[in-house]
Amino acid sequence: MIWVFLHITGIVTAVVIGIGAQIFTERAAKTGDVRTIRTIFQMAKPMGMAVPIMFVIGGVFGVVAFLDRGIDWNSPWLVQSYVLFAIAFILGGAIDGRWQGKVLAAAEEAPDGPVSEEFRKLLDDRVYMISTWVGRILLIAILYVMTMKPFS
């Protein structure tokens, strides 16, 4: 049972760090102040780098837990979890991570003060916002699938 606990702890840590960093960066972006955006995004960068590491650690403990408990790797709830997690992970890295990197790069080049119109367009990126909410919905779906084990 310790492996299940460590699996859950690793995954929850990754989610909390990731969503926490998202909330802070989104709030900073809403200020429209370059210095605030630069500062918060720089502070969030190492947190963003820790998220995939914590997911991997949580995943390794999950594999050990499955082996220890003799769980079938092809159980419908596990296959659903794999697919949902892969989509969320790709969205997080390909869209969310790229957006945060672009915003930080723009903030580092911009002078202090209010953001320019071009910078504002970057901050208001609809693809990022949709991806963020889809990712959060996927995390809820994964939690549901992992706890309720539908179609098993």
| The pLDDT value given to residue 92 | 86
Note the pLDDT tens digit of each residue in 123-135.
999 999 999 999 9
pTM: 0.87
For every one of its 152 residues, what pLDDT tens digit does the chain have, with 9 covering 90 and above?
Answer: 999 999 999 999 999 999 999 999 999 999 999 999 999 999 999 999 999 999 999 999 999 998 999 988 899 999 999 999 999 989 888 898 899 999 999 999 999 999 999 999 999 999 999 999 999 999 999 999 999 999 87
Asked if 75 and 110 count as a contact pair (C-beta separation under 8 A), the reply is no
d(CA 47, CA 53): 10
Residue that has been written with the tokens 């190492």 in this structure: 46
Parent domain of 93: 2-148
How does DSSP classify residue 116? Answer: P
- DSSP structure string for 117-138: HHHHHHHT-HHHHHHHHHHHHH
d(CA 120, CA 103): 10
Question: The dihedral of CA 118, 119, 123, 125: what is its sign?
Answer: positive
Q: How many domains does the chain have?
A: 1
Report helix, strand or coil for 114.
strand
How does DSSP classify residue 33? Answer: B
| The pLDDT value given to residue 93 | 84
